[in-house]
């Protein structure tokens, strides 16, 4: 029997991951960034997306760590515990030049709540937002823990882009995993993520040393699909929030196509491809890292 936890771990290790290889910095490069979070974080690590983004940005090469802190399938509820925070502390102790944490977390906590249920029918608005505040509270614990370490000067709290509910339902369903979202529409699934990400944005404004990076609509804007989709707004006012068109998902071209039983799907609707991850890293560089790292 596949438990929920084991399934999420499996999901985080789908063919979209390139394996468990280490992110090795260029020779002589300072290891400045610790990647922490779920499969989106791990994809960045194994694909060397951040290093590629720094090259595209014309910046010096900075080393990346995260062999034990970028874990497919992991949740904010886990990283808020001492067991998982010890992993962060160990990576920081092993790499004293790290001064920045690139945190991508909360997606699995949310998916866990909605993959089987229409939460607009199951809960009233007060209950729904209360569930999202629990996720945000755990994320706050992670951010504050990272910043409590004297060597950490910055936490980049990275947002998600719009998942593709229909593709997830079809592609993962073809592999025997239910992802029907209780019949919610794409707009409703997007709204759940928007509500959680808004809490993350407001949290980051309250915590010194933390900056939220909005990714809503980044892929839509890049591919101009739907036409005219605006880029996500950045600090300090984050206008527009959400970016893109919240009636749509990430375009199919933001995923790696996969074949299941002779049928081709546009990925799994959840994990963007390497090129999309690199663009999100470049977005974080433009909003945060270019300024933060210019001093050294």
All domains of the chain in start order, with CATH:
73-295 (3.40.50)
pLDDT digits (tens, 9 = 90+) for 132-161: 999 999 999 999 999 999 999 999 999 999
Helix (H, G, I), strand (E, B) or coil at 156: strand
- Taking the C-alpha atoms of residue 125 and residue 112, their distance in angstroms, rounded to an integer, is 18
Q: Which of 269, 270, 286, 267 is nearest to 278 (CA)?
A: 286
When pLDDT is averaged across residues 108-112 and rounded to a whole number, the result is: 97
Q: Is the pTM of this model over 0.85?
A: yes
- Taking the C-alpha atoms of residue 249 and residue 226, their distance in angstroms, rounded to an integer, is 9
Task: Spell 64-102 as b/e; 16+ CB within 10 A means b.
Answer: bbbbebbbbbbbbbbbbeeebbebbbebbeebeebbbbb
pLDDT-derived band of residue 61, with 50, 70 and 90 as boundaries? confident
Residue 117 has pLDDT above 90, yes or no: yes
pLDDT-derived band of residue 260, with 50, 70 and 90 as boundaries? confident
Residue 24 has pLDDT above 80, yes or no: no
Q: Which of 210, 218, 225 is nearest to 288 (CA)?
A: 210
Residue 14 has pLDDT above 80, yes or no: no
Give the pLDDT score at 148.
Answer: 98
Q: Considering the chain, what percentage of its residues have pLDDT values greater than 70?
A: 90
Residue 6 has pLDDT above 80, yes or no: no
Mean pLDDT of all residues belonging to the chain: 90
Q: Which of 34, 36, 43 is nearest to 15 (CA)?
A: 43
Q: Considering the chain, what percentage of its residues have pLDDT values greater than 90?
A: 80
- Taking the C-alpha atoms of residue 257 and residue 158, their distance in angstroms, rounded to an integer, is 25
Q: At what angle do helices 107-114 and 4-12 cross, to 10 degrees?
A: 130
Residue 3 has pLDDT above 60, yes or no: no
258-260 and 263-265: which strand pairing?
Answer: antiparallel
Q: Which of 278, 231, 221, 277 is nearest to 251 (CA)?
A: 221
The neighbouring-strand residues paired with 64 are 33
Give the pLDDT score at 295.
Answer: 60
Give the pLDDT score at 189.
Answer: 98
Residue 1 has pLDDT above 50, yes or no: no
- Taking the C-alpha atoms of residue 265 and residue 252, their distance in angstroms, rounded to an integer, is 9
Tell me the torsion sign for CA atoms 226, 199, 212, 72.
negative
Give the pLDDT score at 12.
Answer: 46
Neighbours of 227 (CB within 10 A): 8
């Amino acid at each position: 029997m596949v438990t929920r936890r084991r399934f999420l771990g499996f999901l985080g290790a789908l063919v979209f991951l390139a394996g468990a290889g280490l992110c090795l910095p260029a020779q002589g490069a300072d290891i400045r960034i610790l990647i922490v979070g779920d499969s989106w974080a791990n994809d960045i690590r194994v694909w060397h997306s951040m290093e590629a983004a720094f090259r595209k940005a014309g910046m010096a090469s900075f080393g990346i760590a995260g062999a034990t802190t970028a874990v497919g399938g992991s949740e904010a509820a886990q990283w808020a515990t001492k067991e998982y925070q010890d992993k962060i502390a160990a990576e920081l102790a092993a790499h004293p030049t790290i001064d920045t944490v690139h945190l991508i977390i909360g997606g699995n906590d949310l998916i866990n709540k909605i993959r089987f249920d229409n939460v607009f029918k199951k809960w009233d608005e007060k209950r729904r937002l209360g569930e999202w505040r629990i996720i945000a509270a755990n994320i706050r614990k992670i951010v504050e823990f990272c910043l409590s370490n004297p060597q950490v000067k910055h936490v980049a709290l990275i947002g998600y882009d719009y998942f593709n509910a229909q593709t997830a339902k079809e592609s993962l369903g073809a592999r025997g995993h239910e992802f029907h979202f209780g019949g919610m529409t794409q707009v409703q699934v997007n709204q759940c993520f928007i509500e959680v990400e808004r809490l993350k944005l407001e949290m980051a404004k309250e915590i010194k040393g933390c900056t939220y990076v909005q990714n809503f609509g980044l892929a839509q804007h890049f591919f101009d699909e739907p036409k005219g989709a605006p880029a996500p707004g950045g600090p300090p006012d984050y206008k527009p929030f959400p970016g893109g068109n919240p009636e749509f998902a990430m375009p199919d071209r933001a995923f790696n196509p996969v074949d299941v039983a002779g049928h081709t799907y546009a990925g799994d609707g959840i994990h963007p491809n390497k090129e999309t991850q690199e663009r999100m890293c470049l977005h974080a560089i433009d909003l945060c890292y270019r300024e933060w790292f210019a001093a050294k």
